[in-house]
Amino acid sequence: MKTAAGKILLTGFEPFGGDSVNPTAEIVGRLHGMRIGRHEVVGVVLPCVFGDAVVRLKTALRRSAPQLVICLGQAGGRAEITPERVAINVDDARIPDNAGRQPVDVPVVRGGPAAYWSTLPVKAIVAALRKQNIPAAVSQTAGTFVCNHVFYSLMHALRRRRAVRAGFIHVPWLPTQGKPAMSLATLTKAIVLATEVAARTKQDIKTAGGRLH
């Protein structure tokens, strides 16, 4: 048997905002310990709490020393798998997090740059998913809640480690949560595919992926 060449850190979130499930915790639970290509997946579920989620993420980064990091979050109301293009340096919570924290207009990292780009091949991921008939689109905003907070903190933590590719993907609800939704089987397949593409694509493809609005 071939030994794994390296680790892929895959994170999800616990349920939040009164929900009893979060599709991303389910996906991560299914993929933890799996091999994707020559990599081994390390799955971690983060608390949906400003600050605490980042502490857990940094511990996971230290322990697993991954070559690739993909953080996942639920985006209720979206119909597609959406790799995020950019993380912005602001927390602005419309609802309290799971610890009752609700920061408004505060930077994720004081003095940090306004934004960090994802270093995942977001366009290639979208193209590969669409080829499998899985609805996908590049998203231009990860919002300003805990997901963007984790995404920004991830890219900030890795800013001097350009060899480690990293980014964030939002996913739709599960069918039990509302509509639009995607089955757990499709979500899991999509994330495996996205991870494979991210692991093997050095240079992202250049296709127009933006929407007018």
What 3-state DSSP class applies to 40? strand
The answer to whether residue 48 is catalytic is no
For residue 69, list its beta bridge partners. Answer: 9, 166
User: Which of 75, 188, 191, 187 lies closest to 142 in space, CA to CA?
Assistant: 75
- Alpha-carbon torsion (19, 90, 64, 82), positive or negative: positive
DSSP 67-119: SEEEEEEE-TT--SBEEB-EEES-EE-SS--TTS---EEE-SSTT--SEEE--
Q: Which of 11, 74, 89, 195 binds ligand PCA (CB under 6 A)?
A: 74
Q: Which is nearer to ligand PCA, 40 or 84 (CB)?
A: 84
Candidate segments 56-64, 81-89, 138-146, 177-185, binder of ligand PCA by CB under 6 A: 138-146
Q: Which is nearer to ligand PCA, 124 or 146 (CB)?
A: 146
Asked if 89 is part of the footprint of ligand PCA (rule: CB under 6 A), the reply reads no
Asked if 11 is part of the footprint of ligand PCA (rule: CB under 6 A), the reply reads no
Asked if 73 is part of the footprint of ligand PCA (rule: CB under 6 A), the reply reads yes
Q: Which residue is nearest to ligand PCA (CB)?
A: 147
C-alpha span between 45 and 40 (Å, rounded) = 16
Residues serving a catalytic function are: 84, 147, 170
Interaction site with ligand PCA (CB under 6 A): 13, 16, 22, 24, 48, 73-75, 143, 145-147
